[in-house]
Amino acid sequence: MQEQRIITHEGLEVRISATANEDILSILNQAVQGSERGMRFRLQNIPARIEAYEDQIRFVSLYKKNRIAGTVGSCYRMTGQGKLEYPSCYLRYLAFQTAYRSESDRKKRTKEIIKPDTGDMSFKERTLEIFSKPHLLGFRNVKETDKHIMYAFIESMNERSKHLVHQAGYEYIRSFLTVAFSRFNPKPDSRVVKLNSVAEKKVMETQLKDFYRDYSFFNTDHCFYGDNYYVLKEGGEIIAGVNALPSVYKIYDIPGVWGWVMMNVLPKSPYYKKLFHPDEFRHLIFDALYCQKGCEEVLPDLFETACYMEGFNTGLLWLDDHSELYDTLRTSMRMGAINRILNAKPGLVYARFVNMTDQEKECFYDAPAYISGFDFS
């Protein structure tokens, strides 16, 4: 689709685009993710990840006097299985220009945005409406009367983002936490190999669907992105697997005492700086994790081999904090030093249920949420 101007009001415009133009890439590449009271970081590989979404992403951007002031991406996918299966849009890449985010400027612009239109709705209300009506985004086959879920992952300390999604009618449904893995000198395990053939990936995809059959928001769109899916086999049978995505963050702040230690002490240590350096935090993102029930003890061996093969010392993954898998890894003594130090605040899952009954919504409060690592990379 071509860029469309869908709302205009006194020098303010909201535009929807299927591509990330120069304005959008510029604001995203400069954006610092997170909140002032939480971890703040900058992503380093945005263009490549946007390209992977292909035609299943739309950017909703705010312009003031023809200059971009903010943007947010909406990624379409089918998620879940059985009673949890619905067309969905995941919101990511929320970014504002620095000047727009300053306190005095924010107050001034907020007054402008909420000033009444000549019509029945304010500019702000009409803009927020876009994030509760997915048919406005121009995705193929998404109709106004369809059942649909729009969802977002938000840091618990990010009050501004929580306020925005509340205003758009989103509900808090689940929470999740970061799990870290690290090794000073990772070593390979002979049981671990990388999947190569299409046939092997088809088998693995079937196993993943079965493993996450009771999870909301699970999808296989990027499970094998980058051809870096590693499996651990015993007797020729796959008992564990994970996709290992190389990623780089620039870290600006981590809250708390242990955050101060990570930012100020670890980078000066000959050993720990292998695991973490804020200026260039090189790590693997572990995604599409699979494990046969009762075999969870092999997961550190799988993670370590992936680190060895890819040339990294640290990996991150995100798990629903009321899932069995999280409970297992949280209590593991073999996840490494960073996991023992890490004191991450929980992330929150917010969802807007479109054209769905209360009964259809209810199961999303009870089911663990699948937290896609790809969406954090």
Q: Span 252-261, mean pLDDT?
A: 88
Q: Span 154-166, mean pLDDT?
A: 90
Q: 282-308: per-residue pLDDT in tens?
A: 999 999 999 999 999 999 999 999 999
Q: Which residue has the higher pLDDT, 40 or 315?
A: 315
Q: How far apart are CA 162 and CA 349, in angstroms?
A: 10
Q: Span 204-233, mean pLDDT?
A: 97
Q: Which residue has the higher pLDDT, 330 or 167?
A: 167
Q: How far apart are CA 245 and CA 366, in angstroms?
A: 29
Q: How far apart are CA 300 and CA 324, in angstroms?
A: 16
5: burial class by Cβ within 10 Å (0-12, 13-18, 19+)? Answer: exposed
Asked whether the predicted pLDDT for residue 98 surpasses 70, the reply is no
Instruction: Place 111 in a pLDDT band, splitting at 50, 70 and 90.
Output: very low
Q: Span 107-135, mean pLDDT?
A: 67
Q: CATH classification of 178-345, choosing from 3.40.630, 3.40.30, 3.30.420, 1.10.101?
A: 3.40.630
In the prediction, which pLDDT does 97 show? 81
Asked whether the predicted pLDDT for residue 245 surpasses 60, the reply is yes
In the prediction, which pLDDT does 256 show? 83
In the prediction, which pLDDT does 312 show? 98
Q: Is residue 228 classed as helix, strand or coil in its secondary structure?
A: coil
Q: Span 63-86, mean pLDDT?
A: 97
Q: Span 78-83, mean pLDDT?
A: 98
Structure tokens, 11: 């020098």
Asked whether the predicted pLDDT for residue 100 surpasses 90, the reply is no
Predicted TM-score (pTM) of this structure: 0.91
- Mean model confidence pLDDT for the chain: 91
Q: Is residue 133 classed as helix, strand or coil in its secondary structure?
A: coil
Q: How far apart are CA 264 and CA 278, in angstroms?
A: 9
User: In CATH terms, is domain 4-174+349-376 a member of 3.20.20.70?
Assistant: no
Structure tokens, 291: 């494990």
In the prediction, which pLDDT does 270 show? 87
Start-end ranges of CATH 3.40.630.30 in the chain? Answer: 4-174+349-376
Tokens 């193929």 belong to 140
Q: What are phi and psi of 77, to 5 degrees?
A: -165, 160
Q: How far apart are CA 16 and CA 6, in angstroms?
A: 7
Asked whether the predicted pLDDT for residue 234 surpasses 70, the reply is yes
C-beta neighbour count of 184 within 10 angstroms: 12
Asked whether the predicted pLDDT for residue 120 surpasses 70, the reply is no
Q: Is residue 264 classed as helix, strand or coil in its secondary structure?
A: helix
